[in-house]
């Protein structure tokens, strides 16, 4: 039983939607955010990355940064860039990237569901990243980060949303600078709202965090800090997508050194557990589970796992686990990918060219390309109560910040 609710979104006036909508705060560094928002006073980055309006050397976790976020949010409201809906509504949010469409339902979801594992997780969170959003929410009184949830398809719900989308005019419809199309419809019909709420309550036993573990954890801890004194804090901002529409991209690795191995000796060592094939200078993108690309000295190699490298339990079968156990830990002495300075991560959206760039520059010694995790693997791990190794999933397209904000204080 999944509890969702309509809400009075704080959202942009239609003529400002494209200017306001910004990339998620956690995919941009402060320097990148300054560039992204340059010349655009209406960018929501002025609220989610408010350090861009302060001196460049400022500590991004100081009180001054959160005060600036509050000041900027209030200014957006005063300038009528943002307005508050006068009725609790649901919203339908469609994103189109490279011709592929995914359509989700924007709502607020129950913190109780999060704490009772009705909303399932597949990643650990980091206290420092949680604290940043806790401070941001408490100071601004707003949940500005949208948590991306997935659910197993319910045909009745899919059909209901599809009919609404095809019969109504959108409130927002624009193509962002990166080419991704964003379209939003508002569901303000009481009967339709009640039907959607009932479907989730009766037919969706659980939902899964696809992206936004830190945002969800932070919202829960803010509610706890407020000691249940504010009803708005009992829920957090979410967009829910049916599993059939989602695609997980690869999440690749680069390493600074090969722990004393030369490339030839390293490849020879890998032959214990992998079939090694030289692929030349063309980037090698794995085509199946248990295949890897390896890049060093301006050459690509295909690594195919032998059967002794993995087990069939939900975690053991993952390619990120195979890589960790049979290469990173075994030969490179990397035992904790979260903290080891010898490894870094490159999201699949950047392409394999980014791996080559970082190795060819001398910054990194080698790179590994991986086949992406499937949505069913994610569900299986979350259902089992386990968590994935770090940086296992990369979802695209990303939900834009600023199109919807949930205010926890009335």
- In a domain, residue 380? The reply is no
Whether residues 88 and 32 share a domain: the answer is: yes
Whether residues 228 and 321 share a domain: the answer is: no
Distance CA 50, CA 58 (A): 11
- In a domain, residue 377? The reply is no
Whether residues 243 and 260 share a domain: the answer is: no
- Cα dist. 138→20, 51, 135, 214 in Å? 22, 17, 5, 15
Give 204's contacts (C-beta < 8 A, 6+ positions apart).
1, 2, 151, 152, 154, 157
Condensed to tens digits (0 to 9), the pLDDT of residues 134-161 reads 999 999 999 999 999 999 999 999 998 9
* pLDDT at residue 19, rounded to an integer: 98
Distance CA 111, CA 86 (A): 23
- In a domain, residue 127? The reply is yes
pLDDT band at 385 (very low <50, low <70, confident <90, very high): confident
Q: What is the mean pLDDT of residues 322-329?
A: 95
Total domain count, the chain: 2
pLDDT at 251 over 70: yes
pLDDT at 388 over 90: no
Whether residues 304 and 170 share a domain: the answer is: no
Distance CA 149, CA 405 (A): 16
Q: Are 232 and 137 in contact (CB under 8 A)?
A: no
Whether residues 240 and 182 share a domain: the answer is: yes
Whether residues 256 and 236 share a domain: the answer is: no
Average pLDDT, the chain: 94
- In a domain, residue 149? The reply is yes
Whether residues 30 and 168 share a domain: the answer is: yes
Give 130's contacts (C-beta < 8 A, 6+ positions apart).
214, 217, 218, 221
| Percent residues over pLDDT 70 in the chain | 99
Half-sphere exposure for 223 (CA within 13 Å, toward CB): 20
Whether residues 352 and 403 share a domain: the answer is: no
- What CATH number corresponds to the domain at position 325? 3.30.1760
Whether residues 109 and 229 share a domain: the answer is: yes
- In a domain, residue 388? The reply is no
Whether residues 126 and 78 share a domain: the answer is: yes
- In a domain, residue 392? The reply is no
| Residue-range definition of the domain harbouring residue 111 | 4-247+397-407
Task: Tell me the two tokens of residue 235.
Answer: 């829920």
pLDDT at 71 over 70: yes
Handedness of CA 228, 232, 237, 239 (dihedral sign): positive
* pLDDT at residue 229, rounded to an integer: 64
Distance CA 388, CA 321 (A): 9
Condensed to tens digits (0 to 9), the pLDDT of residues 17-32 reads 999 999 999 888 999 9
Spatial CA neighbour of 50 closest among 80, 74, 81? 74
Q: Would you call 68 exposed, middle or buried from its count of C-beta atoms within 10 A (0-12, 13-18, 19+)?
A: buried
What value, to the nearest 5°, has the Cα angle with vertex 159 and ends 157 and 165? 105
Q: Phi and psi of 50, rounded to 5°?
A: -65, -10
Whether residues 143 and 237 share a domain: the answer is: yes
Spatial CA neighbour of 220 closest among 304, 97, 112? 112
Matching residue, tokens 């994103």: 95
Q: Would you call 254 exposed, middle or buried from its count of C-beta atoms within 10 A (0-12, 13-18, 19+)?
A: buried
Q: What is the mean pLDDT of residues 256-279?
A: 97
Spatial CA neighbour of 391 closest among 372, 377, 364? 372
- In a domain, residue 54? The reply is yes
- What is the rounded end-to-end Cα distance, in angstroms, of the chain? 28
pLDDT band at 365 (very low <50, low <70, confident <90, very high): very high
pLDDT band at 290 (very low <50, low <70, confident <90, very high): very high
Whether residues 263 and 358 share a domain: the answer is: yes
Q: Are 402 and 225 in contact (CB under 8 A)?
A: no
């Amino acid at each position: 039983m999944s509890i969702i609710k309509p809400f009075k979104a704080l959202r942009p006036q239609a003529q400002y939607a494209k200017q306001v909508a910004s990339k998620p705060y956690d995919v941009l560094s402060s320097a990148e955010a300054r560039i992204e928002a340059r010349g655009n006073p209406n960018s929501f980055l002025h609220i989610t990355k408010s350090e861009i309006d302060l001196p460049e050397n400022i500590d991004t976790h100081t009180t001054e940064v959160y005060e600036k976020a509050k000041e900027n949010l209030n200014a957006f409201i005063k300038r009528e860039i943002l307005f508050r809906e006068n009725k609790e509504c649901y919203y339908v949010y469609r994103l189109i990237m490279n011709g592929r469409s995914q359509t989700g339902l924007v709502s607020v979801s129950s913190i109780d569901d999060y704490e009772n594992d009705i909303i399932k997780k597949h990643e650990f969170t980091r206290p420092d990243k949680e604290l940043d959003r806790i401070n941001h929410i408490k100071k601004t009184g707003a949940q500005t980060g949208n948590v991306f949830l997935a659910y197993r398809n319910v045909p009745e719900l899919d059909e209901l949303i599809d009919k609404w989308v095809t019969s109504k005019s959108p409130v927002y419809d624009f193509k962002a600078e990166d080419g991704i199309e964003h379209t939003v419809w508002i569901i303000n019909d009481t009967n339709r709202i009640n039907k959607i709420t009932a479907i989730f309550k009766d037919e969706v036993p659980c939902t899964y965090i696809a992206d936004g573990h830190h945002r969800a954890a932070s919202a829960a801890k803010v509610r706890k800090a407020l000691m249940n004194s504010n009803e708005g804090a009992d829920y957090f901002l979410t967009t829910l997508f049916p599993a059939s529409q989602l695609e997980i991209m690869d999440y690749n690795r680069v390493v600074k050194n090969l722990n004393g191995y030369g490339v030839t000796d390293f490849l020879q060592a890998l032959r214990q557990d992998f079939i090694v094939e030289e692929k030349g200078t063309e980037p090698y993108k794995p085509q199946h589970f248990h295949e890897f690309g390896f890049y060093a000295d301006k050459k690509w190699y295909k690594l195919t796992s032998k059967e002794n490298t993995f087990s069939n339990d939900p975690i053991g079968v993952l390619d990120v686990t195979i890589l960790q156990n049979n290469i990173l830990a075994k030969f490179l002495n990397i035992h904790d990918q979260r903290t080891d300075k010898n490894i870094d991560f490159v999201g699949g959206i950047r392409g394999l060219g980014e791996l080559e760039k970082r190795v060819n520059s001398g910054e990194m010694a080698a790179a590994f390309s991986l086949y992406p995790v499937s949505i069913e693997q994610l569900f299986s791990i979350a259902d089992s109560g386990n968590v994935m190794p770090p940086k296992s999933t990369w979802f695209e397209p990303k939900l834009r910040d600023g199109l919807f904000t949930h205010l926890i204080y009335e």
